[in-house]
């Protein structure tokens, strides 16, 4: 079956692009439109939901590789639910409940089938928080042209490489490559100028699948830390922004425009594609560093990642202070 993987990869690129093209052509007809508001970084109405092609690539690859139903079906449910959010108005509470249900169902099945050493309801619940949190974090970070697709290309690419290096030729590696390539197929429709937005169907799905693949292939805590580092810029931006908002007494449930990437795009006026490629470059540096130093032991990996966190916090703080002083 693996000898036909190149056909899967080609089809993943085609599906990623075809989904974006379909929404670009039919988005207005189906009411899949993102109208700019106070937290938007765009100024004109744009079709959304172009990530439907990424979902199609995920489902096709999962079926081709015969990945167990318990894995791809909850993730597909998350994607379809998110596509519904792109079209209809679901309450945030209902979305979270359904996302947690899908995550717990998937993780409980992994535990039962002994794909990795997850033991106990507490750990399953914690990992469900990680999966749902990463899904929504990815969605929050999808606010400028290209950033979600570039991050998906790099993040899933590193995830595939790590799986190959540790597990020879795993179906999860092939799945990760397929998702990375579907993001590549989507990217020309979203960067440098956005003809279509990925929408929740793409961003929430990417975050959720990234998290559950990390859980599925993790063998120990340090594997978990290493794999999650492949999404470093997103985690760093979201967590530092939350810290700033908590410090300022803001309601975390209210929409905002205080992520570092939003400040760079809106207040600093930097082109979206430059910011997206900058985040992708930092992701490449962190991911490559993690893989290179892993041979020297877990302590070195942690020291490197902590160093990157410190650099990001200092840089982010300085940019925010400069914007405050200019205001």
Domain positions in the chain are 2-326
Structure tokens at 124: 């399953």
Q: What is the CA radius of gyration of the chain?
A: 19
- Measured in degrees and rounded to the nearest 5, phi and psi for residue 34 equal -100, 110
Neighbour tally for 322: CB within 10 Å: 13
Question: Token pair 């379809």 is at which residue?
Answer: 80
The pLDDT of residue 115 is 46
The pLDDT of residue 87 is 76
Helix (H) or strand (E) segment spanning residue 89: none
DSSP 8-state code for residue 66? T
The pLDDT of residue 276 is 97
Q: Does residue 231 contact residue 151 with C-beta atoms inside 8 Å?
A: yes
CA 94 to chain centre: 21
Helices (H), the chain: 5-26, 52-65, 69-87, 92-112, 121-141, 147-167, 171-186, 199-217, 221-228, 232-247, 260-262, 272-293, 298-326
* Tens-level pLDDT at each residue, the chain (327 residues): 556 688 999 999 999 999 999 999 998 888 888 887 766 667 688 999 999 999 999 999 999 999 999 999 999 999 999 888 877 777 788 889 999 999 999 988 876 644 455 556 778 888 999 999 999 999 999 989 999 999 999 999 999 999 988 866 689 999 999 999 999 999 999 999 999 999 999 999 999 999 999 999 988 888 899 999 999 999 999 999 999 999 988 888 788 889 999 999 988 999 999 999 999 999 999 999 999 998 888 899 999 999 999 999 999 999 998 875 544
| Residues 6+ positions from 104 with CB-CB distance below 8 Å | 124, 125, 128
The pLDDT of residue 326 is 46
Exposure on the CB side of residue 79, measured as CA atoms within 13 A? 21
The pLDDT of residue 145 is 94
| Of 227, 245, 228, residue with least CA distance to 170 | 227
Structure tokens at 309: 């966190």
The pLDDT of residue 36 is 76
The pLDDT of residue 85 is 80
The pLDDT of residue 84 is 84
CA distances from 296 to 191, 232, 264, 274, 293 (A): 38, 20, 36, 34, 5
d(C-alpha 317, C-alpha 327), whole Å: 15
Q: b or e along 127-166 (b: 16 or more beta carbons within 10 Å of the residue's beta carbon)? A: bbebbbbbbbbbbbbbbbbbbbbbbbbbbbbbbbbbbbee
The pLDDT of residue 188 is 96
| Of 99, 197, 195, residue with least CA distance to 149 | 197
Dihedral sign for Cα atoms in the order 280, 283, 287, 288? positive
pLDDT, tens digit, 9 for 90 and up, residues 211-268: 999 999 988 888 899 999 999 999 999 999 999 999 988 888 788 889 999 999 988 9
């Amino acid at each position: 079956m693996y000898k036909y993987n190149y056909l899967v990869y080609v089809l993943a690129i085609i599906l990623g692009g075809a989904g974006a093209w379909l929404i670009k052509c039919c988005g207005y007809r189906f009411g899949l439109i993102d109208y700019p508001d106070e937290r938007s970084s765009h100024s004109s109405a744009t079709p959304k939901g172009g990530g439907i092609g990424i979902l199609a690539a995920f489902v096709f690859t999962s079926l081709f590789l015969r990945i167990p139903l318990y894995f791809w079906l909850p993730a597909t449910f998350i994607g379809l639910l998110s596509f519904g959010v792109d079209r209809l108005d679901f309450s945030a509470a209902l979305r979270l409940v359904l996302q947690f249900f899908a995550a717990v169902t998937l993780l409980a099945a992994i535990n039962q089938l002994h794909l990795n050493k997850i033991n106990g309801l507490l750990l399953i619940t914690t990992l469900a928080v990680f999966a749902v949190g990463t899904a929504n974090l990815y969605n929050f970070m999808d606010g400028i042209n290209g950033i979600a697709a570039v991050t998906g290309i790099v993040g899933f690419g590193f995830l595939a490489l790590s799986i190959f290096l540790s597990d020879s030729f795993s179906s999860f590696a092939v799945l990760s490559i397929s998702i990375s390539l579907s993001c590549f197929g989507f990217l020309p429709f979203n960067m440098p100028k956005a003809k279509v937005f990925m929408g929740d169907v793409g961003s929430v799905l990417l975050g959720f699948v990234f998290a559950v693949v990390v859980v599925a292939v993790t063998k120990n805590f340090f594997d978990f830390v290493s794999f999650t580092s492949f999404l470093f810029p997103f985690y760093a931006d979201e967590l530092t922004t939350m810290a700033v908002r908590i410090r300022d007494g803001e309601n975390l449930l209210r929409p905002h425009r205080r992520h570092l990437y939003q400040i760079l795009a809106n207040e600093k006026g930097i082109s979206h594609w430059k910011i997206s490629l900058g985040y992708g470059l930092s992701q490449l540096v962190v991911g490559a560093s993690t893989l290179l130093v892993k041979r020297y032991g877990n302590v070195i990996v942690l020291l490197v990642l902590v160093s990157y966190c410190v650099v990001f916090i200092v840089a982010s703080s300085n940019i925010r202070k400069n914007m405050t002083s200019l205001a």
